[in-house]
Amino acid sequence: MSGLAAARGLIAAGHEVLVLEQARGLRLGGGAITLWCNGTAILEDLGVDLEGTGQRLTTLCLRTAGGRQVLEFDLEALAQRFGSAARVIPRGSLITLLESGLPEGTVRFGARVTHLQADSDGVQVKTETGQEYSGDFLVGADGVHSQVRALVLGGDQAALTGAAIWQGLTPAPFDPGSTTTLMVGRQGDFGFMGAGDGLMQWFFDVPWSPGAPPEDKPLEMLRRQFAGWGSPVEQVLASLEDGDAEVFPHTRHKIPCRWGEGRCVLLGDAAHGMPPVMAHGTNQALEDVATLVDCLGTVPNPTAVVRVYSSKRRRQAALASTIASRALAVSGPRTLMQSEYLMRMNGATPPRLATRGFGHLLRVLSSRI
């Protein structure tokens, strides 16, 4: 997503762009993602029309494990305030929309970058099959296990955090409307939302250990762990088959001070892989895109772009990553959000105040809204 979004922004700004993608074609599988008002605003700036795709969100509800609603955030009010609405969009739909605006031939498939060489005049890369490409500038948007990051910054890998997300996009067993709901408790969290076309995106974040044997019956495990949770946990689990649930271990990068070197920069998960909790990864990647396009247009010396771009982006991405990593405890004491007692105390917060707080958070995490 980051690479295609960056390509759109850079082409619109007058650059010539080639995207090198290791896969043989567009990867359209996977679940749906939540885009907050900042992410959708940037996509609109990039000329991506989201109307009619996925599900517009009007409300975010936070509930205890028992099912009691403790906080309600009015996303429609934030849409009015920021001029763009939060939305849930299947990954495949977003990737198709992003790619459909690119000139033919912009994306070269089956091109896995394995080597790179850069000097003050430009960058050369080589792919697995020996193909060589050169350009003035390289944007490493190659995901959390970024090869470009390893080649440019050295070998620090994203670390496993001790949690994982089990998730899927399946026919909705009931109509969740335009509300996205998150339930939090000591075992982890559970979230669900409509994703358009009668589909529901659902997920469970749970403690996870890399040494544990693979789970062939994930639904049994989830039923066990989330037994006693309030509605609609049981109903959602009852509507699934084991093959519907995919697991992704949470990973997190140490966010570097400089997001690149010379004429090579990192963007999206390559720069700041973070757990999916609270749904900031793609939103932050889109913030990277907007900032990078701006820097490439305004910073006169290409080798100074890395410094300016990193300093503009680092704090917001680091905050999003901290929020995503600290919401759930994977061992030891629970976090504040996982305590039913403290969560219930939050129930006294009026929706207007809660909405204002969430809007403030989105603004702090964004340079666009």
Give the residues lining the site for ligand FAD (CB under 6 A).
Answer: 1-3, 20-23, 27, 31, 33-34, 112-113, 141-143, 147, 165, 167, 248, 268-270, 276, 279-283, 285
Q: Which is nearer to ligand FAD, 232 or 273 (CB)?
A: 273
Q: Which is nearer to ligand FAD, 75 or 279 (CB)?
A: 279
**Measured from the CB of residue 167, what is the shortest distance to ligand FAD in angstroms?**
5
Placement of tokens 């430009």 in the chain: 122
**Measured from the CB of residue 38, what is the shortest distance to ligand FAD in angstroms?**
10
Q: Which is nearer to ligand FAD, 126 or 349 (CB)?
A: 126
**Measured from the CB of residue 88, what is the shortest distance to ligand FAD in angstroms?**
8
> Exposure string (b/e) for 298-324, b if CB count within 10 Å is 16 or more?
eeeebeebbbbbbebbbebbbbbbebb
> Angle, to 10 degrees, between the axis of helix 37-45 and the axis of helix 2-12?
40
Q: Which is nearer to ligand FAD, 107 or 296 (CB)?
A: 107
Placement of tokens 């996982």 in the chain: 338
- Sign of the dihedral through C-alpha 45, 193, 285, 21: negative
**Measured from the CB of residue 284, what is the shortest distance to ligand FAD in angstroms?**
7
CA distance 61 to 59: 6
Q: Which is nearer to ligand FAD, 189 or 269 (CB)?
A: 269
CA distance 34 to 88: 4
User: H/E/C letters for each residue in 15-55?
Assistant: CCCCEECCCCCCCCCCCEEEECHHHHHHHHHCCCCCCCCCE
**Measured from the CB of residue 300, what is the shortest distance to ligand FAD in angstroms?**
27
Is the CB of residue 192 less than 8 Å from the CB of residue 202?
yes
Q: Which is nearer to ligand FAD, 93 or 283 (CB)?
A: 283
Q: Which is nearer to ligand FAD, 11 or 342 (CB)?
A: 11
**Measured from the CB of residue 301, what is the shortest distance to ligand FAD in angstroms?**
26
The backbone torsions φ and ψ at residue 190, rounded to the nearest 5 degrees and listed phi first, read: -140, 130
**Measured from the CB of residue 325, what is the shortest distance to ligand FAD in angstroms?**
13
Is the CB of residue 109 less than 8 Å from the CB of residue 21?
yes
CA distance 288 to 293: 8
